Amino acid sequence: MRRKFGNGDEHGDIWFTSDTHFGHPGILFMRAWDDVSAMDEALIANWNSVVGERDHVFHLGDFSFHRPESTLEIMGGLKGIKYLIRGNHDRNNLNAACLSMFTGGVEHYHEITFGSQLIVLCHFPFRSWNGMHHDSWNLHGHSHGSMIPQGKQLDVGVDVGKLFRPLSLLEVMEDMKNKKFVRTDHHGIKKQREDYVARAAEAYTGTTPGGVSR
């Protein structure tokens, strides 16, 4: 399924996040808090400081390590219309009641479009993804900021940049401005060649690809 978003007022803002690991003592060594209670409180406060009630929040997996009852309490305190793209830790700790709180839906893989921009969502980073040679984006989690992105790819996990909050669509757009398509298989051979020729023309001849002097 592919959801379509536009610039109209009918939608709130769009946010992306991953790897909150609520209630997980084993993640504390990567973070600034001494105990999970303090971590949970900060993550909730940070989320609610940027997300509005009508906003759409895509959580790309590894939501909580608490028992379902505690997870339900946390979810009830988080603003926004929530979507879950399951991670490798989203198993028995999320029962049917927890999953029902993700009113936007629960999937292992999801695609959305904002205008003409295709955005591919999964917990795991891809090496090749749908439409990548047409400048689609891959947003993921799982790596906690430890993996170098490849092309138009971004880890939206809370540990990246030590922001510990969701990233807005505008922030993602700004990040993608500085990234180029990187070919990893047969897809995009023609595009890569054309991009190379265009860059070479500007770098070495001082002209645009059409041969017009700057």
Residues 18-32 have a mean pLDDT of 97
78 and 11 fall within a common domain:
yes
> Burial level of 103, CB count in 10 A (0-12/13-18/19+)?
exposed
Instruction: Name residue, tokens 């003592």.
Output: 25
Which amino acid does the sequence have at 112?
A: I
Cβ(58)–Cβ(85) below 8 Å: yes
Per DSSP, 27 falls in state G
| One domain for residues 161 and 190 | no
pLDDT at 203 over 80: no
pLDDT digits (tens, 9 = 90+) for 38-91: 999 999 999 999 999 999 999 999 999 999 999 999 999 999 999 999 999 998
Same domain, 198 and 122: no
Query: Alpha-carbon distance 181 to 160, whole Å?
Result: 22
Residues 173, 71 within the same domain: yes
Q: 123 and 161 in one domain?
A: yes
**Contacts of residue 177, Cβ cutoff 8 Å, sequence gap at least 6:** none
Specify whether 168 is located in the same domain as 204: no
Say which residue, 181 or 58, is predicted with more confidence.
58
Say yes or no: 54 and 96 in one domain.
yes
pLDDT at 2 over 90: no
149 and 187 co-located in one domain: no
C-beta neighbour count of 8 within 10 angstroms: 6
pLDDT at 9 over 70: no
Is a pLDDT exceeding 80 seen at residue 34? Answer: yes
Give the ranges where the chain is alpha helix by DSSP (H): 36-50, 68-76, 96-100, 169-177, 189-205
Domain total in the chain: 2
Together in a domain, 24 and 123: yes
pLDDT band at 187 (very low <50, low <70, confident <90, very high): confident
What domain range includes position 195?
183-214
First to last CA, the chain: 45
**Given this model, what pLDDT does residue 105 score?**
96
Residues 90 and 192 in one domain: no
- From 117, 146, 154, select the one nearest 134 (Cα to Cα): 117
Residues 28 and 100 in one domain: yes
- Enter the pTM of the model: 0.86
Among 7-11, 84-88, 117-121, where is mean pLDDT lowest? 7-11
Cα 142 versus chain centre, distance: 11
Is residue 208 located within the same domain as residue 108? no
